[in-house]
Amino acid sequence: MGSSAGRASGQEYGHGRQTAASVSARIVQLEDQETVAVTWETPESLVVASGTRQTIQDALERLPLSYREVILLCDVEEMKYQQISEILAVPIGTVMSRLSRARKILREMLAGERTARSTPAGK
């Protein structure tokens, strides 16, 4: 897929920002003020997280470019609407409507994936 200068592609943003759910360790304060790292990940949680990341990446890649680029710039790169508007050379209202539509489409795609995984084969 070719993208013009200043446009975002899924390959450029393959790794999303780190969220609270993806943090692998937490620091716990003990009564005597000693700090200890506590790991919440298990082999099972790592497999689930990996599958979830891949599912999200696949859904992002299926989005039309005009929606994918605003999602990546806003939600991954954490740019403000005005910055996105300038980069893409579109009005700020267009950025906002594309972002809203992109999120709706992603929700529907991910809900469809969840439904497909939870439905027994042959039904």
**CATH code, domain with 103:** 1.10.10.10
For residue 13, being part of any structural domain is answered with no
Tell whether 96 is covered by a domain.
Answer: yes
Domain tally, the chain: 1
Instruction: List the domain range (segments joined by +) for residue 60.
Output: 25-118
C-alpha–C-alpha distance, residues 2 and 85, integer Å = 20
Tokens of residue 73, six digits: 């710039």
Helices (H), the chain: 43-62, 65-71, 81-88, 92-118
Q: Which residues contact 53 (CB under 8 A, 6 or more apart)?
A: 16
Is residue 95, in this structure, part of any structural domain at all?
yes
11 in a domain, yes or no?
A: no
Q: Is 17 part of any domain?
A: no
Residue 2: inside a domain: no
The answer to the question of residue 123 being in a domain is no
- Is the predicted pLDDT of residue 4 greater than 90, yes or no? no
- Please, which residues have CB within 8 angstroms of residue 35's CB and are 6 or more apart in sequence? 27, 28, 29
For residue 44, being part of any structural domain is answered with yes
At 11-54, the pLDDT tens digits run 444 444 444 443 444 445 555 556 555 566 777 777 777 778 88
pLDDT score, position 36: 55
